[in-house]
């Protein structure tokens, strides 16, 4: 999938993923009203509203982007009906030719990580049959528990030709509390980065990049520049663009000289674009067109920034 | 819930939780065969087998223990049907008067952690209504992303009077890779422990313990002793007993002088007890009776160890 991801990024000239992280507050009223009329103000009604919202955005943007990153928490908050919408979204994005990065940030002791890996990347065996659970192409992983919590994901990913992104330096304000602490004079996130490289050597794509990537927030561009050099063959998933504050010019150093090596996420900035003054002219009815325009603007912002490198 | 947990621990004299972490390999053949006959060798069939297995164990042990800890990964591996069994298990355990610790190890940027907290501890608002998603009493949390990833759980937990356990020093072999690294001469897990105390001060129970607990593996008893002293008002969830290698005597220093302050998890050692030589006489048909005996033996092992303190 890392080869497919790189190929799609080249084809679209858009190292961009749309974060499908729907809060009900982002869903236009007309969609919610229709869903509640059908299914009531229930978890099922909410899940249907989120599904229709996602579908609108995917239909309006799938030809411009290589991948989406649904954040599973936003679905889990609605319990089982929410997770059914997560699954439906993954399947629908596959139908539209998109790669799906499941933002699940899992990680546990070996046998348990194995179960997560099976459920999200691989197939579970039931008697003589086997089935995909959620079937994303990539997942995100929390490394706090170390190698034996990550290895089961790699073991499942290799035969499936799937991948993962390991949290290295996250985009949130308090990410530094533990991640920036100095160990032998170097921040912890650099130690994680070294492990990412080591883990990734087991599962390299033909494109020269590893199937084992890293998450490095756009909100810390100086650290991004260091991490880029420490992990030359690692694809970097970059959250924090747009609503979290980072701009195209902050992203320059996350890319390699080949113009590759990073994929930038924007969630709220795209899926709730119609709520921004800049895109208000579209109106809630045309929220998906606003999202399409926001993708085009983001693509240009980043292309210009990389061009300027 | 921390008050309820302490009260139940005193009443049962069992600082024990049963880890409901079913692998299909643990489920006796007669249960699987019946489920597959009804629903086929499908995800639904597997989920039904797991549910019947869980129900058997809960029915045979609920009067002996204060709490269960279902590991959500083991359900997530079966996709939506698996998660339906997770939810059914949570609800059934509540019916039987058990507290439920959702072993979910989540943690993300603020708004996303908020969604997880809503889905697992709180209620999500849909129009004029609100609903519990999974409705556990406690959850486990990964602290790698820092305070702003933990605070949303506390914010949801306070009005719900629910709690959480923060991964501090985990039980797995490679937990030391990052957690043991020295920061200013002290291991990272001690820094996490200090934060746990700080976070916990916001949400104290009447019993003198905080609703914000810590996970400290039984497999590292010397570190457990240090962490016990660093976090005197923190309840410690102790995984690693039994199948992971720790014995009652390893647990002594996880408890306070009041005989409280820790709750010990055993998963495989209890739910798959019938597969051990020691309990083989029960046979697969009586797997639940084997589990009951394993709980009794564990309770005695720990009571003796604490008594010897």
**CB proximity list for B261: less than 8 A, separation 6 or greater:** B209, B228, B232, B234, B235, B236, B254, B255
Percentage with pLDDT > 90 across chain A = 95
Chain B residues within 8 A of A115 when measuring between CB atoms: 23, 71, 73-74, 76-77
CA-angle at B288, arms to B284 and B293, nearest 5°: 105
Mean per-residue pLDDT for A24-35?
98
Between chain A and chain B, the number of residue pairs with CB atoms below 8 A apart is 229
* The pLDDT value given to residue B247: 86
A105 labelled catalytic: yes
Q: Which H helix or E strand runs over B269?
A: helix B268-271
Chain B residues within 8 A of A147 when measuring between CB atoms: 174, 177
Residue B78 and residue A124: Cβ atoms within 8 Å?
yes
* Residue in A46, A178, A244 closest to B146 by CB: A178
Nearest CA in chain A to B32: A127
For residues B297, B298, B304, B306, the Cα torsion angle rounded to the nearest 10 degrees is -170
Residue B73 and residue A119: Cβ atoms within 8 Å?
yes
Residue A57, classed as helix, strand or coil, is helix
Is the predicted pLDDT of residue A35 greater than 90, yes or no?
A: yes
* The pLDDT value given to residue A239: 95
The ipTM is 0.97
Chain A residues within 8 A of B125 when measuring between CB atoms: 24
CA-angle at A201, arms to A199 and A204, nearest 5°: 120
Residue A199, both tokens = 């883990």
* The pLDDT value given to residue B242: 84
Nearest CA in chain B to A36: B127
pLDDT in tens, A126-185: 999 999 999 999 999 999 999 999 999 999 999 999 999 999 999 999 999 999 999 999
Residues in chain B: 309
Q: How far is A281 from chain B (nearest CA, A)?
A: 26
Interatomic CA distance for residues A170 and A184, integer angstroms: 21
Interatomic CA distance for residues B212 and A11, integer angstroms: 49
Bigger pLDDT: B99 vs A247: B99
Contacts within 8 Å (CB) and 24+ apart, B5-11 = B5/B66, B5/B67, B5/B99, B5/B137, B5/B138, B5/B163, B5/B235, B5/B263, B6/B205, B6/B207, B6/B209, B6/B235, B6/B260, B7/B207, B8/B66, B8/B67, B8/B99, B9/B66, B9/B260, B9/B263, B10/B260, B11/B66
Residue B115 and residue A77: Cβ atoms within 8 Å?
yes
Residue B174 and residue A131: Cβ atoms within 8 Å?
no
Is the predicted pLDDT of residue A244 greater than 70, yes or no?
A: yes
pLDDT in tens, B102-150: 999 999 999 999 999 999 999 999 999 999 999 999 999 999 999 999 9
* Residue in A36, A42, A182 closest to B183 by CB: A182
Residue B77 and residue A119: Cβ atoms within 8 Å?
yes
pLDDT in tens, A65-105: 999 999 999 999 999 999 999 999 999 999 999 999 999 99
Interatomic CA distance for residues B113 and B119, integer angstroms: 10
Chain A residues within 8 A of B80 when measuring between CB atoms: 80, 83-84, 87
Chain B residues within 8 A of A144 when measuring between CB atoms: 142-144, 167, 170, 178-179
* The pLDDT value given to residue B307: 83
Is the predicted pLDDT of residue B309 greater than 60, yes or no?
A: no
Residue B76 and residue A133: Cβ atoms within 8 Å?
yes
Query: Which entry of B34, B105, B123, B275 is annotated as an active-site residue?
Result: B105
Q: What is the pTM of this model?
A: 0.97
Residue B144 and residue A124: Cβ atoms within 8 Å?
no
* The pLDDT value given to residue A243: 75
Mean per-residue pLDDT for B187-215?
98
Is the predicted pLDDT of residue A309 greater than 80, yes or no?
A: no
Confidence of residue B206 (pLDDT cuts 50, 70, 90): very high
Q: How far is B258 from chain A (nearest CA, A)?
A: 31
Confidence of residue A247 (pLDDT cuts 50, 70, 90): confident
* Residue in A21, A79, A142 closest to B119 by CB: A79
* Residue in B132, B144, B191 closest to A142 by CB: B144
Of B88, B114, B264, give the one whose Cα is nearest residue A74: B114
Mean per-residue pLDDT for B288-306?
96
Chain B residues within 8 A of A173 when measuring between CB atoms: 148
pLDDT in tens, B12-68: 999 999 999 999 999 999 999 999 999 999 999 999 999 999 999 999 999 999 999
Is the predicted pLDDT of residue A258 greater than 70, yes or no?
A: yes
Residue B143 and residue A144: Cβ atoms within 8 Å?
yes
* Residue in A45, A129, A172 closest to B146 by CB: A172
Interatomic CA distance for residues A126 and A225, integer angstroms: 46
Which residue bears the tokens 């919610």? A32
Is the predicted pLDDT of residue B216 greater than 60, yes or no?
A: yes
Chain A residues within 8 A of B36 when measuring between CB atoms: 126-127
Confidence of residue B164 (pLDDT cuts 50, 70, 90): very high
Query: Which entry of A105, A161, A233, A275 is annotated as an active-site residue?
Result: A105
């Amino acid at each position: 999938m890392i080869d497919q991801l790189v190929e799609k990024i080249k084809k679209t000239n858009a190292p961009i993923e749309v974060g499908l992280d729907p809060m009900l507050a982002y869903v236009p009223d007309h969609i919610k009203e229709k869903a509640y009329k059908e299914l009531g103000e229930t978890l099922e009604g909410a899940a249907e509203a989120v599904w229709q919202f996602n579908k609108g955005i995917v239909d309006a943007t799938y030809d411009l982007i290589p991948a989406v990153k649904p954040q599973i928490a936003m679905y889990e908050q609605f319990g089982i009906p929410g997770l059914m919408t997560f699954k439906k979204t993954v399947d629908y994005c596959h139908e539209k030719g998109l790669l799906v990065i499941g933002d699940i940030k899992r990680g546990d002791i070996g046998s348990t990580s194995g179960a997560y890996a099976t459920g999200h990347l691989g197939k579970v065996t039931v008697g003589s049959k086997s089935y995909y659970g959620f079937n994303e192409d990539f997942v995100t992983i929390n490394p706090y528990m170390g190698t034996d919590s990550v290895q089961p994901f790699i073991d499942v990913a290799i035969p499936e030709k799937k991948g993962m992104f390991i949290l290295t330096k996250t985009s949130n304000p308090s990410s530094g509390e533990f991640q920036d602490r100095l160990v032998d004079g170097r921040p912890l996130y650099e130690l994680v980065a070294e492990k990412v490289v080591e883990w990734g050597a087991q599962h390299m794509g033909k494109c020269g990049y590893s199937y084992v990537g890293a998450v490095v927030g756009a909100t810390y561009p100086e650290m991004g520049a260091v991490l880029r050099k420490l992990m030359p063959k690692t694809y970097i998933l970059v959250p924090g663009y747009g609503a979290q504050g980072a701009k195209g010019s902050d992203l320059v150093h996350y890319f390699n000289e080949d113009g590759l090596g990073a994929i930038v996420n924007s969630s709220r900035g795209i899926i709730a674009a119609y709520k921004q003054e800049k895109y208000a002219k579209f109106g809630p009815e045309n929220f998906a067109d606003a999202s399409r325009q926001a993708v085009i603007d983001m693509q240009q912002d980043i292309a210009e920034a990389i061009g300027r490198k």
